[in-house]
Amino acid sequence: MFGLIFATVSSKKLQLPANAATCRALVRALLAWFAAHARDLPWRRTRDPYAIWVSEIMLQQTQVKTVIPYWERWLRSLPNIQSLADAPPQTIHKLWEGLGYYTRVRNMQKAAQQIVAEHRGQFPDAFDSILALPGIGRYTAGAIASIAFNQPAPILDGNVIRVLTRLFGISGNPKDKVTNAKLWQLSEQLVTISFQTTAADTCSQLNQSLMELGALICTPKQPKCLACPVRSNCVAYRTGRTDEFPALAPRTAPTARLFAAFIIQNRHRYLVQQRPSGIVNAHLWEFPNFEFPTAPGASDLNHAAETLFGQAPQSTRPLCTVKHTITRYRITLTAFHAALPNAAPRAKTKSRWCTLAEMQKLPFPSAHQKILKHLAQITVPA
């Protein structure tokens, strides 16, 4: 299989974007550095493609130290593809609670079900079959193919883009088509050279060394060039232009959004609702809430409650305010205890009355989870 992959890579007759001798020196230096300095991460102690896949999906948008306990808990609860394919949706959402971007976890379950149906439950080792799984793009397929199966498949994520643009002095925006294609070619050139070396697992280690260098040494701000194993071949370092690469477009300013959540209590139970499919945070649970253009006053809250429940509250009282940033939104969510006797949500909303203990078993988005933690610390008068 690996030979086939390599033959595919070779037969493309790549127009090598970088000097071959330079690339061989880079590969040697990166492999030696990774062997000496790689962090001991739990998913690096296995070659199980399932465990590596889980780590790669969790690591998207999330830092290593946050992912470790999630990954360990996930592998304890769902140790293999079959267990993920069979898990109830609430279980996978609860295990993912706090990581955000929940489409990822739903795609993982669809992919597991596809592997059971089409690959007899065995994670496929062919690059194209990995890429065909839901939620797996070119980067993730390359990461799994190289790390789990030591295939010379390239990778390109934010860390690798930063390393390659600085090393080779690539000044175009990495998101532009031509520059992006060139970066993929460079990544492929390096991993292909690593495949030609005689040591074991070199594709796995070369790709991980690029990720690791970007995470630990070639950081976005103040890269630690004096500790870098490839500085003698680095264009950005030699020319004193590390802050010019990568040439990304400036980020758009985050948009502020204001929400109010209604905490409606009936003795020891609270009213919560499940978000429908097809929207962000689909299938997660939350307190009924409403978005406002500006900080809501009493009449705004009354109007929102009438829209949500068909009646205005007898009184509202602020409980807590939580702030949360997701994608380009900076969300401020204020929870109000609302006295709404006989409250019932409008039709089409899937809702329940739950005790605190029952709510803690349901998956909530991060902002509402913070309200839940606040509720657990106080006693709300009924």
Cβ closest to ligand SF4, residue 226 vs residue 279: 226
HSE, side-chain direction, 13 A CA sphere, residue 133: 36
Cβ closest to ligand SF4, residue 246 vs residue 288: 246
Cα separation, 161 vs 143, whole angstroms: 14
Within 35-64, which residues bind ligand SF4 (CB under 6 A)?
A: none
Which x/- pattern, by CB under 6 A, does the window 261-300 give for ligand SF4? ----------------------------------------
DSSP 8-state code for residue 242: G
Cβ closest to ligand SF4, residue 214 vs residue 363: 214
DSSP 8-state code for residue 45: G
Bridge pairing between strands 265-266 and 269-274: antiparallel
Cα separation, 372 vs 369, whole angstroms: 5
Within 98-157, which residues bind ligand SF4 (CB under 6 A)?
A: none
Rg (CA), the chain: 25
CB of residue 229 vs ligand SF4: minimum separation in angstroms? 8
Which x/- pattern, by CB under 6 A, does the window 204-233 give for ligand SF4? -------------xx----x-x--x-xx--
Cβ closest to ligand SF4, residue 204 vs residue 242: 242
Note the helical H segments in 78-169: 81-86, 89-96, 103-119, 127-131, 138-149, 158-168
Cβ closest to ligand SF4, residue 171 vs residue 255: 171
Cβ closest to ligand SF4, residue 183 vs residue 272: 183
269: tokens are 């139970």
The answer to whether the CB of 172 falls within 8 A of the CB of 178 is: yes
Residues 6+ apart with CB under 8 A from 93: 102, 105, 283, 284, 363
Closest CA to 288 of 350, 243, 195: 350
Concerning whether 56 is annotated as a catalytic residue, the answer is yes
CB of residue 237 vs ligand SF4: minimum separation in angstroms? 4
CB of residue 140 vs ligand SF4: minimum separation in angstroms? 24
- Annotated catalytic residue within 56, 188, 212, 286: 56
Bridge pairing between strands 350-354 and 285-286: unpaired
Residues 6+ apart with CB under 8 A from 275: 281, 282, 283, 284, 285, 286
Residues 6+ apart with CB under 8 A from 33: 209, 213, 229, 230
The answer to whether the CB of 73 falls within 8 A of the CB of 95 is: yes
Which one among 236, 301, 340, 372 touches ligand SF4, defined by CB under 6 A? Answer: 236
CB of residue 202 vs ligand SF4: minimum separation in angstroms? 20
Cα separation, 119 vs 381, whole angstroms: 55
Q: Give yes or no for residue 368 binding ligand SF4 (CB under 6 A).
A: no
CB of residue 38 vs ligand SF4: minimum separation in angstroms? 16
Q: Give yes or no for residue 29 binding ligand SF4 (CB under 6 A).
A: no
Q: Give yes or no for residue 18 binding ligand SF4 (CB under 6 A).
A: no
Which x/- pattern, by CB under 6 A, does the window 155-194 give for ligand SF4? --------x--xx---------------------------
Cβ closest to ligand SF4, residue 229 vs residue 365: 229
H or E stretch at 9: helix 2-11
Which one among 52, 130, 144, 234 touches ligand SF4, defined by CB under 6 A? Answer: 234
The answer to whether the CB of 187 falls within 8 A of the CB of 210 is: yes
162: tokens are 């930063």
CB of residue 217 vs ligand SF4: minimum separation in angstroms? 5
Task: Name the site residues for ligand SF4 (rule: CB under 6 A).
Answer: 163, 166-167, 217-218, 223, 225, 228, 230-231, 234, 236-237, 242
Catalytic site positions: 56
